[in-house]
Amino acid sequence: MMDLADRYLKAGTRENTRKSYRAAIEHFEVTWGGYLPTTGDGIVRYLAEYADKHAISTLKQRLAALAQWHITQGFPDPTKTPNVRQMIKGIRVVHPAQVKQAAPLLLTHLEQAVKWLEAEAAAALDRGDYKTLLRHRRSVAMVLIGFWRGFRGDELARLTVENTKAYSGEGITFFLAHTKGDRLHEGTTFQTPALTMLCPVEAYINWITVAGLAKGPVFRRLDRWGNLADKAIQPHSLIPMLRRIFKEAGLPEELYSAHSMRRGFATWASANGWDIKGLMSYVGWKDMKSALRYVDPGVSFGGLTARSANLNIEPS
């Protein structure tokens, strides 16, 4: 009975959260040499040791892990004492840190990358190079779906053919059993219309057709010999994959990270008249703070602005 209970208890916490909490506890006990359970004074000394070595976000994540350990073990939470709260405030003052934002993927760069990938895919098809054709078709689909849906790496990795419905010239629907904002694990359906250019629907159809996929992960590992694996890509592999694509397409790959596609879409949507409520609903953000991290504030320089071309696509 306890095994069954443990199964459901574990299911209530994300695997990434469990891993990061285990690492935080190990850091406190092994790296720093602390003892558990601890006190508020112990937490203060721990924070003082690493205040100038780690970002405040890292320290707060470790506090969350220590709090969870004490609560689940039946001990008072030492991270909620007044001294600990004051310590966090002091660290913010003494070690202010600018929030690092991913550079938004520019639409012109997206277009250049896709144009290069399409040309390479066509050349590979002409010479019968199936391995290269697969790689570039996967890249086109990954970049366009990632951009227009604002998906993160873990969401792209969890897309399955069974839960994706695409209709040429109409649109595409994705279902994810759980997302970061889906705290109740009810599952979320995402929809995107077919577009007149840079179309994620056609990119998806082209990819699963050439790869012969009927079930399982949409985006799979591809070895150096062109063999598709049954398993999905690793979420952390998205950044090197994107940077390789941009580098090969002649773009400044060092600017971009895995969040660049989501931030690029949010920037494009804001510039094309989407309000914050519509953007939050489309991407799946549940709180305004999360959304605003991806959207640059709207400013106007009137007729002095050097305007860049934007796609004329209405928000869904």
What 3-state class would DSSP assign to 104?
coil
CATH tag for 2-94 (out of 1.10.150.130, 1.10.10.10, 3.40.50.1110, 3.10.20.580): 1.10.150.130
**Residue 99 has what pLDDT?**
60
Phi, psi of 229 (to 5 degrees): -85, 165
Q: Could you tell me the CA-to-CA distances from 259 to 28, 36, 56, 151, 243 in Å, in that order?
A: 30, 36, 20, 9, 12
At residue 80 the predicted structure's pLDDT band, cuts being 50, 70 and 90, is: very high
Tokens of 103: 């550079």
**Given a cut of 60, is residue 151 above it in pLDDT?**
yes
The least confident of 15-19, 148-152, 264-268 is 15-19
Global pTM?
0.72
Q: Cβ neighbours of residue 186 under 8 Å, at least 6 residues apart?
A: none
pLDDT band at 58 (very low <50, low <70, confident <90, very high): very high
Interval 201-222: pLDDT, tens: 999 999 999 999 999 999 999 9
pLDDT of residue 185: 66
Domains of the chain, residue spans: 2-94, 107-304
| Range with the poorest average pLDDT among 163-177, 247-261, 280-294 | 280-294
Torsion angles phi and psi, residue 232, rounded to 5: -75, 165
Q: Where are the beta strands (DSSP E) in 13-64?
A: none
pLDDT of residue 6: 56
pLDDT at 311: 46
For residues 98 and 201, the model is more confident at 201
Give the other-Cβ count within 10 Å of 88's Cβ.
17
Write down the pLDDT at residue 300.
46
Architecture per CATH, 107-304: Orthogonal Bundle (1.10)
Instruction: Name the residue among 273, 313, 310 with its Cα closest to residue 295.
Output: 273
Of all helices (H) and strands (E), which one includes residue 121?
helix 107-126
Residues contacting 219, CB < 8 A, separation 6+: 138, 141, 142, 156, 157, 159, 232, 233
Residue 40's nearest CA partner among 6, 104, 86, 106 is: 86
**Helices (runs of H) and strands (runs of E) counted in the chain:** 13, 5
37 cis-preceded (ω within 30 degrees of 0): yes
> Do 2-94 and 107-304 come out as alike in CATH topology?
no
Burial zone of 227 (CB within 10 Å; 0-12 exposed, 13-18 middle, 19+ buried): exposed
**Axis-axis angle for helices 40-50, 82-94 (nearest 10):** 10
Which residues, 6 or more positions from 296, have their beta carbon under 8 angstroms from its beta carbon? 104, 267, 270
Spatial neighbors of 265 by CB under 8 A, at least 6 apart, are: 105, 147, 148, 149, 150, 283
Give per-residue pLDDT as tens, 112-143.
999 999 999 999 999 999 999 999 999 999 99
